[in-house]
């Protein structure tokens, strides 16, 4: 599977030892300099809130983090689920993730074109800013693999940078981790969901106000329909 390291086991290995420093330096472009923890926490909370809006209890669900990197998102989400696994094609990133020693969490290296799990394994599969690292010709296959390991009736969430947001584009241009990537528009992600036969697809936009305007962040949930947020996510359900 062509995942967050663009199909290479080593292309992200060179960033693994100082991953956090690269991210934090890049985020200084986001006016006021929010930390990566703020962005990850917001997305982790959004997953939990959205599942509850769907009438689901996350603590009863098994989850898979695809393109998990060094496990930063998993660190914030593992306690919300009954069980969590993480997978990435970078061995260096997985080695860092394993050092977190999160109770009940397993991290594995993904080689080749398939996720290292059987069909219908997880209740929820998600990624955080994975697909812009995937070459366009492999994006359908990547989503198909996420759906393959998802149980019937399960949900898939994918968070992505919003190509319509000029500040997001500036952040991506200045990030060494994102060299050569091609950002997605929300409409492309929804198209991929349709092609993967994912039902009840829903798109929400997040991250509207930089830290300088954090006093306005309380209004962000009311703007989730507006395609100008710094990021968006699309969720969809695998048919029973």
Is position 5 within any domain?
no
Helix-strand-coil split of the chain, %, nearest 5: 45, 20, 35
Domains in the chain: how many in total? 1
Is position 3 within any domain?
no
The per-residue pLDDT string of the chain (240 residues; one tens digit each, 9 = 90 and over) reads 434 433 444 466 655 545 555 455 555 555 455 667 788 888 999 999 999 999 999 999 999 999 999 898 999 999 999 999 999 988 988 999 999 999 989 999 987 679 999 999 999 999 999 999 999 999 999 999 999 999 999 999 999 999 999 988 888 888 777 888 899 999 999 999 999 999 999 999 999 987 788 889 899 999 999 999 999 999 999 999
Q: With 0-12 CB in 10 A as exposed, 13-18 as middle and 19+ as buried, what is 112?
A: exposed
Residue 85: its H or E element: strand 83-88
List phi, psi (to 5°) of 14: -70, -15
Is position 210 within any domain?
yes
List phi, psi (to 5°) of 188: -70, -40
Residue 1 is predicted with a pLDDT of 45
Is position 6 within any domain?
no
Question: Distance between CA 28 and CA 44 in Å, rounded?
Answer: 21
Is position 42 within any domain?
yes
Where in the sequence is the domain holding 18, given as residue range(s)?
13-237
The CATH number covering residue 95 comes to 3.40.50.150
Closest by CA to 233, choosing from 47, 97, 17, is: 47
Is position 1 within any domain?
no
Quote the pTM value: 0.88
Is position 7 within any domain?
no
Is position 8 within any domain?
no
What are 109's strand-pairing partners?
88
Cβ atoms of residues 97 and 87 within 8 Å: no
């Amino acid at each position: 599977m062509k995942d967050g390291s663009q199909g290479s086991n080593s292309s992200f290995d060179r960033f693994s030892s100082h991953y956090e420093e690269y991210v934090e330096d890049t985020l200084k472009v986001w006016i006021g300099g929010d930390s990566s923890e703020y962005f990850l926490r917001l997305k982790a909370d959004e997953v939990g809130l959205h599942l509850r809006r769907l009438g689901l209890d996350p603590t009863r669900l098994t989850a898979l983090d695809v393109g998990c990197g060094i496990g930063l998102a998993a660190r914030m989400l593992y306690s919300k689920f009954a069980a969590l696994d993480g997978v990435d094609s970078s061995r260096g990133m997985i080695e860092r993730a394993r050092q977190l020693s999160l109770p009940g969490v397993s991290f594995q290296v993904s080689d080749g074109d398939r996720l290292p799990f059987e069909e219908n394994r997880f209740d929820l599969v998600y990624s955080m800013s994975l697909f812009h690292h995937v070459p366009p010709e492999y994006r359908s296959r990547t989503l198909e693999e996420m759906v393959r390991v998802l149980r019937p009736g399960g949900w898939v969430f994918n968070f992505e940078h919003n190509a319509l947001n000029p500040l997001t584009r500036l952040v991506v241009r200045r990030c060494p981790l994102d060299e050569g990537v091609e950002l997605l528009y929300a409409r492309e992600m929804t198209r991929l969901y349709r092609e993967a036969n994912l039902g009840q697809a829903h798109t929400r936009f997040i991250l509207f106000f930089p830290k300088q305007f954090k006093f306005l962040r309380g209004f962000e949930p009311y703007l989730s329909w507006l395609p100008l947020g710094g990021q968006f996510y699309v969720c969809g359900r695998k048919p029973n």
